[in-house]
Chain A
Amino acid sequence: MLSLLAQTAPGEFLDGLKAIGAGLGYGLAAVGPGVGIGIVVGNAISSMARQPESAGMVRTTMFLGIAFTEALALIGFVVFILLLP
Chain B
Amino acid sequence: MSILALEFPPVSHLFDWPTIWFDGTPLAVNKTVLIYLAATAATVVLFGLAGRPRESLVPVGVQHVAESGVNFIENSVVMQTIGPDGKKFMPFLTSMFFFILFSNITEVVPFIQFPANSRMAIPITLALVVWVIYNVVGVKSQGPFGYLKNSLFPPGVPKVLYIIVTPIELVSTFVVRPFSLAIRLWANMVAGHLLLVTFAILSATLWEFFYVPAALPFVMLILMTAFEILVSFLQAFIFTILTAVYIGGSMHPEH
Given contacts A67-B242, A78-B187, contact A56 B180 (CB under 8 A): no
Residues of B within 8 A of A75 (CB): 183, 187
Q: Which chain A residues numbered 49 to 85 have a C-beta less than 8 Å away from chain B?
A: 56-57, 59-60, 63-64, 66-67, 70-71, 74-75, 77-78, 81, 84
Q: Is the interface of A mostly helix, strand, loop or mixed?
A: helix
- The answer to whether B11 touches A81, judged by C-beta atoms less than 8 angstroms apart, is yes
Report how far A71 CA is from B239 CA in the complex, Å.
Answer: 12
Q: B86: shortest Cβ distance to chain A, in Å?
A: 14
- Taking a contact as CB atoms closer than 8 A, the residue among B180, B188, B241 that contacts A63 in the complex is B241
Chain A, interface residues (CB within 8 Å), range: 10 to 19
- The answer to whether A63 touches B184, judged by C-beta atoms less than 8 angstroms apart, is no
- The answer to whether A63 touches B183, judged by C-beta atoms less than 8 angstroms apart, is no
Report how far A57 CA is from B77 CA in the complex, Å.
Answer: 10
Is B81 on the interface with A (CB-CB < 8 A)? yes
Residues of B within 8 A of A64 (CB): 238, 241-242, 245
Given contacts A56-B76, A60-B76, contact A67 B184 (CB under 8 A): yes
> What residues of chain A have their CB less than 8 Å away from a CB belonging to chain B?
56-57, 59-60, 63-64, 66-67, 70-71, 74-75, 77-78, 81, 84
Beyond A56-B75, A60-B76, A77-B190, 18 additional contacts (C-beta under 8 Å) are A56-B76, A59-B76, A60-B77, A63-B234, A63-B237, A63-B238, A63-B241, A64-B238, A64-B242, A64-B245, A67-B184, A67-B241, A70-B184, A74-B184, A74-B188, A75-B187, A81-B190, A84-B11
